[in-house]
Structure formats: structure tokens, C-alpha cells
Structure 1
Amino acid sequence: MAGCLVLLAAAVVLGVRAAGREPTVTLLANWTGRDELNLRHAVIEPFERKYHVHVDYQGSSAESQVLGADVEAGTPPDVVVLTGPGELADYAGQKQLRPLDGLIPREDFSASWATPLADGHVYWFPLKADLKSIVWYPAGTSERGRLKARDEPAQWCVGMGSGATSGWPGTDWIEDILLQQHGPRAYQSWVSGRLSWRSPEVRQAWTTWGRLMGAGTSPALLGRTLQTGYAQASAPVADVPRGCTLEHQASFIRTQSTAWQRADGRYDPSSRLIPGATADDAWEVSGDLVALLHTTPQAERLIRYLSSPAAQRAWAAAESAFSVDSKVPPATAGPTWHRTLATTLLSPAATHCFDASDAMPPTLRDAFAEATIEYLAHPARLGALLATLDTLRQAPGQTWLPSVCDQASAPAR
């Protein structure tokens, strides 16, 4: 009888949806596969049960392209989750986004996460966050061993491939090096378009990365780096003998990579391994940011739900990820590496700076990613690459974020 009742209830739900009587909200994000299943189980299904609103979810690894086509066609989703505040700021400038005033608890998120634009409105907030100023290494690797591996390009686990967005692991490297070498003030100036790409600070970040990667020195190493996808870059760390030792990658890789799970991956703050680092407790961060494109009662209800501590906590638990909602404290259980990363993300003493390329105008972001690939193959072309990026920086009509660091005035040590 219980089984029959469950089937009957499911049939009624499907019948109501088919008749169009259940309100629907459309949601676009980049989660597919296992990530999509986690999202549905932890976030979407509880929302649907509680509010009797159907979520029409679309997941795509080419999310930016899908959203651009939908907006151009005049059929945007109600709600979108993007990793790039620069892209969202561009849509806000086109009047495609709706302000979230009164819909989200702004006081629960710091200004680096729910950034007010020049008009004073907030247009997005984070559903989940990751720390990026991290270098992973296998448990049992001594500090001396890590420093030795740092200076051997083949010991870095690097994969630049990521489909339409290939090259972003290189942008992460250069951004983090600039932040650690020159601090949040220089980083903020660069991300807001005021610091030239041809400046000594930016050039030093590129050349430091080039030396660590052995840019232009080994065709075999270059081939491995360019032909490997970022998600597979850590695979050699679990080989016997070990194929690489260190990986500069965001916090999400620890749970997504079976190689790091088998190697019991630990981490150092990247400042301990980046040559010439001077910044004090400065961290590059990234996030999946929720924005509203079409205002309906059910879309507003979904926005309120996703910004609630309950939804933030549920998604973080399902993904073994992190929330930066001040009302969702780090879990006291779990592995040490996870608890310390969660604490760092919420620490008021730390300086958190949003991923630079994600915060830049989309055209510059994409050109930056392409340039990192070109530089690895032809480091002698750096001057021309930086000149091209600087020309793009000065192009008129671009939207720049007023701030990407929550303590941009923090001093260097």
C-alpha cells in the first residue's frame, strides 16, 4: 500500500507539471554529472518539496556561451550560477540582471563576495566558495622535499586543458604569484584595470611562473602540460614511481581527484613556495555566484532559498565544499585540511581576493587564458602578449569591478 501511495503521489506531481499548474523556475549552472546529482539531491529537491515549485535545471560546461545565446535570443533563464563576477557585471551593465536588494541577507556575506556595483546595488551572491592560493603535496613529503620539487618543473602536476576555457590553470598561477609577490593593493589595481599589463609587477608574475614551469625548455614537458586536462593533472602523483609531487590547484581538487585521495594530499599556502612572496595572509578565492535575470515570484523564492544558511550548509556538505555565509560556521568534524581551509575562508584576519581573470571583463579574461598557453610554448613572445592584453585593458565600454579584495589595503610584510 505504501508503495502504491508513493507511485500515486509521483503520478499526481507529474500530472500537475504536465498540465502546467505547478509554478516553474528555470536555473542554468555549470554542474553536470555527479555535481548535478549532488545539486539536485541536496538543494533542488528540498526546495521543490518545501515550496511546490518545479526547478527546470540546465547544466552545461559551456555555460557562458549558452547564457549569451539565450540572452541574445531574449529567452534568458530566471536564475543563473556563474563563476565570473566580471561577466555578471557586464550583464548588469546591459540591464540584464535584477538587483537583489531585499532578497538576500547582505550582511551575511562580505563585500568581496556580494560586491556592490557603482550604482550601489548587489547583483549576485556565492552559493559555494573555494580557496585557490594552495599547493598540494602527498602526505609524508618533507618541507625540504617540497622546496626541492618546487625548483624542478617536471615535479609540478599541471594540466592546462579545460575545453572552451582551456588556459585558466595558468591564469590562476599568474594571479596568485602577483598577489603573493606584490600584495592586495597591486592585485586590486591590476584587476580593476588601473595597473598596466606591461608593469614590472605583472611581468614578474609571468616570468616567475615561466621559470617554475620550465617554459620553452622541454618539448616533452610542454606536450604533457598542454595535452592534459586540469582534472587529470594530479593522476601521476599516485603512480609508482611518482610522476609529479606538487599541484597548484583550488580546494575543490582534493575531493574530486582520486589521486590526491590515495596520496592523502596535504597543502601549503602558496606563499611558502612562490619565490619572492611578501604578502601576509593573502588568499585568492573563487566562487559560484547566483544572479537573477528574470523576476517572478518563484525565481525570487529560489534566490531567497539559495542565500539561506540551510541551503548554503546543505550544498557545502554535499560537495565537501565551503560556504562563506557568516551564519554557516566551519564544521568541527572531518579532516584537518578541510577544517583549516574552511576557517581561512571565513577568517576576518585574512585578505581574500577574488580570482582576477574571473573578475575581469570577459574579452580580457578569455585573451588572458589563451595567452598563458602561448607563453608556455613561446616565452620569448611575452612582450607582445602583454602589449596585446594591455590594449584590451584600455578598450572603451568595459565594466570593471570596484573591488575584489575584502582588505585591499592590507600591508605587505
Structure 2
Amino acid sequence: MLAGCLVLLAAGLVAGVRALGQEPTVTLLANWTGTDERNLRATVLDPFARTHHVHVDYQGSSAESQVLGADVEAGTPPDVVVLTGPGELADYARQGQLKPLDGLLPQAGFGASWTTPLDGHVYWFPLKADLKSIVWYPGGTSARQRAAAARQPGQWCLGMGSGATSGWPGTDWIEDILLQRYGPDTYQRWARGELPWRSAEVKGAWTAWGRLVGAGGDPALVRRALKTPYQDAAEPVTRTPRGCTLEHQASFIRNQDSWKRADGRYEPSARLIPGAKADDAWEVSGDLVALLHDTSPARALIRYLASAAAQRAWSARESGFSVSPDAQPAPAARGADWHRSLAATLLDDRAVHCFDASDAMPPSVRDAFAEATIEYLAHPDHLDTLLTNLDSLRLAHGLTWLQSVCDHADAPGGRETP
């Protein structure tokens, strides 16, 4: 009875301290919900709270861009945010909403494509990274079978649905085709807003994607792609007979039930993209941490999330990968073969890593690009109009374009459209 009373008393004291505002609190907005949120809390946030005695008020939302925009407009933004788009973060930085992270990150730092400086300061860093230039297939599928499947639009597992951000699986495809066909220099010129959408290279990437997945072709196939949420795209892989065989998707998709049941394996997308010529170039993405309120609890959380311990703990759950050189576990503790090989590619200094181009673009261009892929999939004859509209957006006044999205880039910083 005494022990029970002590537990209740302790709980009451904790609640009372929080109610009185005496326990430091930091607010965090990110896109992780469900299993990912539980992993984040168990492996990262709860250990931070115990060690630093700071309460983390976490909000997870699949529409975090919209939530953040509304909060900023209302004057109540979170202390710390995790976003997938450096282009969106650059926009907030130019508005004066973000605080520089100078002095808060470890000396080893992260690669150039992950912490692109803006106006001489670093405003974000990756908590989680993923590889995108890959194609998944069921275990036991031979190279000849994969090559044959790649020539059949119906054998590509494709789901374009993603709520407010629907269409991004299509942007990933087009970006990767451009990268693999024309290399990092052309890719970066386009991501900087310098290469027109109506250029032969960019238009060719669109039409190549259209041929691969059957844009404007079989109505049932197009309808399936448009109506299917991206996380359910591979469900036909588990059917008998299979409804599809290949999925061009980022490394995180391996944790979906369909690919677990199918013993999902992967190969570089360059092997299956017609006309691919790039040498060891990879499209990557990341969940990027940024600071909006420069408070002691918020700075403590930033330092912790950038630390090797936090990065290693999050990566260990195989929810994603860390690209911090100091955070890599011992070889014996790196999990499944597919996870180890993906991690090695992300950390390979000899490879070129280019950040997801649409995520690096200004938000208005990014969103229009995603919407255009949906329109193109159903109506490929609208392509010229879609590209003309995107070029008009590219030239709009006041947009912030990052000048470096690939490793070994020669133009750090950002520029604003005059």
C-alpha cells in the first residue's frame, strides 16, 4: 500500500510540475505517426526526456507542411520541426523563421547534400535518410525476369496517393530518370531552377516514365495507380499470380508488410532505366531537423538529435538510416543484409548523392510538379502545357532556389529569383 501511494504521489508531483510550467518543455512537429512514431518515442524522445529532464510535446502529422504553415501564420510555430523538404526550409529561413544551427552540430557533421548552407549558415540536418535510386523485387526473381518485367507497364507497382502530397512517387521517378540518363550536373542545374522544364532532357525524362508505367494506356492500370496509396502499391506482389513485380521506391518501403512477405530485394534503378549512363549517382531523401525557437530546451534537443547516440538508436530500428559518420554501429550489429548494403551506399564517399530535386525546389514548384505527374499519368497529351506552366512558376519572382543538392557541388548557398 505504501509503495502504491508513493507511485501515485510521484505521478501527481510530475503532473503538478508540468501544470505549473516548471518542467522545461520543447514542442516538436514531424510527419511520423503509427509505428514510426512509437519507434521515435521509444528510441529517441523518451531517452532524451529522461537524461535531460525536458518534456517533449510531440505532434505527428502526415500533413505537417500544412500544419506548420498554419502555426507560423498564427504566430505559434513549434520549437523544432522535422521536414522532408530543404526547399521549404530555405523558404522559412529567408523569412527569418529558422534559427542557425552553427555550433550545435557535431564536428564530423554530415555530407554536403544533407546540410546545404544558406547565406553562410546551416539551418538543418538529417535525422533520418533514405536511398531512392532503387527498384524492389520479390526474392527469387532472376535478373532476366526483372528485365522482362521492366518492359511491361503492368508489372510496375505504382501508387500515386499520399493525401495532401499525392503525386510524389511520380516526381521520384522523373527525377531519377533524369539523374541516371544525364548525370548529376544536369540534375543539379534543373534542381537549381536553371534548366527549363521544356528542355529535351527534362521532357525526355517525363516521356520515358510514361512509357515505363503506361501513362494514358490501359484505363484499369492508370486508374489503379491513381487510386492506390503509395504504401499499398506493392500489395499485388503477394497475390497468386502476382499482380506486379517491380516497385521504384525509396528504401523505407522495405518495412511495408507486402515486401516483408515477399522477401523484398533491390537493385540500382540504373539497371532498369532505358538510356541510363550515370556512374554511381544516387537520388536520396531525408527527414531534416530545423530550429524555430532558440530556447535552452530546444537547443538541447537539437544537439541530442544530431548526436551519434540518437542517430544510431533511430537507425537501429530499421525505420531509416543515419548519414552521420560517427553514428554507424559495429558491423555485427547492422541488421539484415539489405539494410547493411543500403547504409553502405548512403555513406559511400566515392558515390554522388543528390537530394530529391522536388523536395529541394521552392514549395510552389514542388507542389505543382507533384500535381502535374497525376495529370500526365492520365493525359500524357497534356505534357507540353504542363511543362509550360512549370516553367512559368520557375521564373516567378522571389523564389529561393538551393544552389547545391549533390555531393561535391561547386556552388554552395542559395539564390533568390530576381
Superposition TM-score tier, normalisation by shorter sequence:
over 0.9
Asked whether the equivalents of residues 36 and 319 of structure 2 are also in contact (C-alpha less than 8 Å), the reply is no
Asked whether the equivalents of residues 234 and 244 of structure 1 are also in contact (C-alpha less than 8 Å), the reply is yes
How far apart, CA to CA, are the structure 2 residues paired with 1:68 and 1:335? 39
Q: Alpha carbon RMSD of aligned pairs, Å?
A: 1.3
Q: Name the CA shift for 1:248/1:106 in 2 (closer, same or farther; >3 Å).
A: farther
Q: Which runs of 5+ in 1 are unaligned?
A: none
Tell me which amino acid in the other structure corresponds to 1:291.
A
**Residue of structure 1 equivalent to 2:232:** 232
**Residue of structure 2 equivalent to 1:387:** 388
**Residue of structure 2 equivalent to 1:263:** 262
How far apart, CA to CA, are the structure 1 residues paired with 2:128 and 2:406? 17
Asked whether the equivalents of residues 87 and 359 of structure 2 are also in contact (C-alpha less than 8 Å), the reply is yes
**Residue of structure 2 equivalent to 1:317:** 316
How far apart, CA to CA, are the structure 2 residues paired with 1:360 and 1:85? 8
Residues 5-35 of structure 1, C-alpha deviation per residue, up to 9 Å, x if partnerless? 5444333222211221101111111111221
Tell me which amino acid in the other structure corresponds to 2:269.
S
Following TM superposition, by how much is the alpha carbon of 1:277 offset from its aligned partner in structure 2, in angstroms? 0.3
Q: Spell out structure 1 runs of 4+ moving beyond 6 A.
A: none
Q: Name the CA shift for 1:372/1:5 in 2 (closer, same or farther; >3 Å).
A: same
**Residue of structure 2 equivalent to 1:275:** 274
3-state SS of 2:325 partner: coil
Asked whether the equivalents of residues 184 and 407 of structure 1 are also in contact (C-alpha less than 8 Å), the reply is no
Tell me which amino acid in the other structure corresponds to 1:108.
G
Following TM superposition, by how much is the alpha carbon of 1:104 offset from its aligned partner in structure 2, in angstroms? 1.0
**Residue of structure 2 equivalent to 1:398:** 399
Following TM superposition, by how much is the alpha carbon of 1:259 offset from its aligned partner in structure 2, in angstroms? 1.0
How far apart, CA to CA, are the structure 2 residues paired with 1:329 and 1:105? 14
Moved more, 312-321 or 78-87: 312-321
Asked whether the equivalents of residues 330 and 339 of structure 1 are also in contact (C-alpha less than 8 Å), the reply is no
Following TM superposition, by how much is the alpha carbon of 1:3 offset from its aligned partner in structure 2, in angstroms? 5.8
Tell me which amino acid in the other structure corresponds to 2:309.
A
Q: Name the CA shift for 1:10/1:357 in 2 (closer, same or farther; >3 Å).
A: same
Following TM superposition, by how much is the alpha carbon of 1:250 offset from its aligned partner in structure 2, in angstroms? 0.3
Following TM superposition, by how much is the alpha carbon of 1:224 offset from its aligned partner in structure 2, in angstroms? 0.4
**Residue of structure 1 equivalent to 2:197:** 197
How far apart, CA to CA, are the structure 2 residues paired with 1:95 and 1:127? 23
**Residue of structure 2 equivalent to 1:298:** 297
How far apart, CA to CA, are the structure 1 residues paired with 2:292 and 2:129? 22
> Following superposition of structure 1 onto structure 2, how do residues 118-137 of structure 1 map, counting pairs within 5 Å?
119-137=119-137
Asked whether the equivalents of residues 137 and 267 of structure 1 are also in contact (C-alpha less than 8 Å), the reply is yes
Tell me which amino acid in the other structure corresponds to 1:169.
P
Tell me which amino acid in the other structure corresponds to 2:138.
P
How far apart, CA to CA, are the structure 2 residues paired with 1:47 and 1:227? 40
Following TM superposition, by how much is the alpha carbon of 1:318 offset from its aligned partner in structure 2, in angstroms? 2.6
**Residue identity (%):** 73
Moved more, 146-155 or 102-111: 102-111
> Following superposition of structure 1 onto structure 2, how do residues 132-151 of structure 1 map, counting pairs within 5 Å?
132-151=132-151
How far apart, CA to CA, are the structure 2 residues paired with 1:114 and 1:8? 46
**Residue of structure 1 equivalent to 2:415:** none
User: Number of residue pairs matched?
Assistant: 407
How far apart, CA to CA, are the structure 1 residues paired with 2:371 and 2:232? 20
Moved more, 324-333 or 398-407: 324-333
> Following superposition of structure 1 onto structure 2, how do residues 157-236 of structure 1 map, counting pairs within 5 Å?
157-236=157-236
How far apart, CA to CA, are the structure 2 residues paired with 1:328 and 1:23? 27
3-state SS of 2:121 partner: coil
Q: Name the CA shift for 1:106/1:218 in 2 (closer, same or farther; >3 Å).
A: farther
1:56 maps onto 2:57 in alignment:
yes
> Following superposition of structure 1 onto structure 2, how do residues 326-405 of structure 1 map, counting pairs within 5 Å?
326-329=325-328, 332=331, 333-405=334-406
3-state SS of 1:405 partner: coil
Tell me which amino acid in the other structure corresponds to 1:347.
D
Following TM superposition, by how much is the alpha carbon of 1:2 offset from its aligned partner in structure 2, in angstroms? 5.8
Tell me which amino acid in the other structure corresponds to 1:93.
R
3-state SS of 1:324 partner: coil
Residues 181-207 of structure 1, C-alpha deviation per residue, up to 9 Å, x if partnerless? 000000000000110101111011001
Asked whether the equivalents of residues 114 and 125 of structure 1 are also in contact (C-alpha less than 8 Å), the reply is yes
Following TM superposition, by how much is the alpha carbon of 1:407 offset from its aligned partner in structure 2, in angstroms? 2.9
How far apart, CA to CA, are the structure 2 residues paired with 1:227 and 1:112? 33
Following TM superposition, by how much is the alpha carbon of 1:336 offset from its aligned partner in structure 2, in angstroms? 1.2
Tell me which amino acid in the other structure corresponds to 1:313.
R
Tell me which amino acid in the other structure corresponds to 2:298.
A
How far apart, CA to CA, are the structure 2 residues paired with 1:408 and 1:152? 37
Tell me which amino acid in the other structure corresponds to 1:395.
A
How far apart, CA to CA, are the structure 2 residues paired with 1:146 and 1:17? 57
3-state SS of 2:384 partner: helix
Tell me which amino acid in the other structure corresponds to 1:205.
A
How far apart, CA to CA, are the structure 2 residues paired with 1:58 and 1:35? 13
Q: Which runs of 5+ in 2 are unaligned?
A: 411-418
Following TM superposition, by how much is the alpha carbon of 1:38 offset from its aligned partner in structure 2, in angstroms? 1.2
Asked whether the equivalents of residues 38 and 319 of structure 1 are also in contact (C-alpha less than 8 Å), the reply is no
